[in-house]
Amino acid sequence: MSIISIKELYKTYGSGESEVKALRGLSLSVDRGDMIAIMGPSGSGKSTLLNIIGCIDRPTDGQYLLDGRKINTFNDSEMAMLRNQNFGFVVQDFALVERYSVYKNVMIPLSYSKKQIKSKRDKIEEALSQLGILEKIKAMALNLSIGQRQRVAIARAIVNDPDIILADEPTGSLDSDTGEEVMEIFKQLNKDGKTIIIVTHEKKVASYCQMTIRIEDGKISK
């Protein structure tokens, strides 16, 4: 059974002359454990698709099933709960709160989690160990290198043990060596059973994935 099932998805921004059709009847199915790259030119609708999949945005029309649940009918509070429990987000600018420590950054999803967690500190240390940056637990995010910041962002994405990791240009701000390291981490997470969806411009990044979906003008072209 697909973990993500999207049928005839439409997303329109604005109205009248300023109307922009970001998605035009897009359909997509993602199975549990897939690692998918979404590629396409700027403005093709790939980030909109990622936002809808990640319950950040709502479609104008069409159906989105997440693990069999109809997301269209969920309210804001339920959407927030889904973001917390089902998704881990990694974005291009690392999205760390610079005035927080590494510990506090990784803590954020756990602070909203309603799962029974015996020791939040253990979970954070486990995530940081997995990413090889446990020794930075007390460091301020501001003082980390670019590569370390992206590792912290990934640690935060996995700390709540989500099924799906959504990455929007995760290597866009990294040099090629660090980018490769990050992709190896994603590959390992996929091997561990996580479903991973990556939006990227880079073919090299897409080459790490089992499947590449190309979007043009709000539809899957290939």
Partner 1 sequence: MLGHKFRYFFLFVQILAAIILISFILSISFNANNFQDKLNEIMQDQKEEIYLLIDNSSSEKINEIFQNEESIEQQKELYEFIKQNLSFRTYTVDQQNALWLSKNNLDNSFALDPDNAFFLIKIDEEFQSVFKLKCVKGRLFPAKDFKGTGSVIPLLLGYDFQNYYDLDDIICDDEGKHYKVTGFLEKSSFYLSPLRDDSIFWLDKAFVVPLQPHKFEYTNNYDSAINSTFIITDDPENLQAIQKKSNELELYTFEFRSFKKQLEFILDYTYSRIKQLGFILSIILYFSIIGLISNLIQFINTHTKEFAIHLLCGGRMVSIIQRILIQTFFIIFIADIIVIVIHRLSMTTLLTIASSLLIGTIIIIYPAIMLSRTQVKDILRRSK
| Identity of the residue, 80 or 180, whose beta carbon is nearer to partner 1 in the bound complex | 80
Residues forming beta bridges with residue 5, ordered by sequence position:
29, 65
Q: With respect to partner 1, which residue has the nearer C-beta, 6 or 55?
A: 55
- Cα distance between residue 204 and residue 53, in whole Å: 23
| Residue of 82, 104, 88 lying closest to 190 (CA atoms) | 88
Partner residues linked to 24 by β-bridges: 10
CB of 50 to partner 1, least distance (A): 10
CB of 211 to partner 1, least distance (A): 25
Cβ closest to partner 1, residue 55 vs residue 215 = 55
Shortest distance in whole angstroms from residue 153 CB to partner 1: 9
Shortest Å, Cβ 207 to partner 1: 26
The residue among 83 and 123 lying less far from partner 1, judged by its C-beta, is 83
Reading the block at residue 182, the tokens are: 């990050």
Distance, in Å, from the CA atom of 80 to the CA atom of 177, rounded to the nearest integer, reads 35
| Shortest Å distance, C-beta 157 to partner 1 | 9
- Those residues whose C-beta lies under 8 Å from the C-beta of residue 115, and which sit 6 or more positions away, are 85, 160
What is the binding site for partner 1 (CB under 8 A)? 51, 54, 56-57, 76-77, 80-81, 83-85, 89, 91-93, 95-97, 108-109, 112-113, 156, 160
Between 45 and 109, CB nearer to partner 1: 109
Burial (0-12, 13-18, 19+ Cβ within 10 Å), 108 = middle
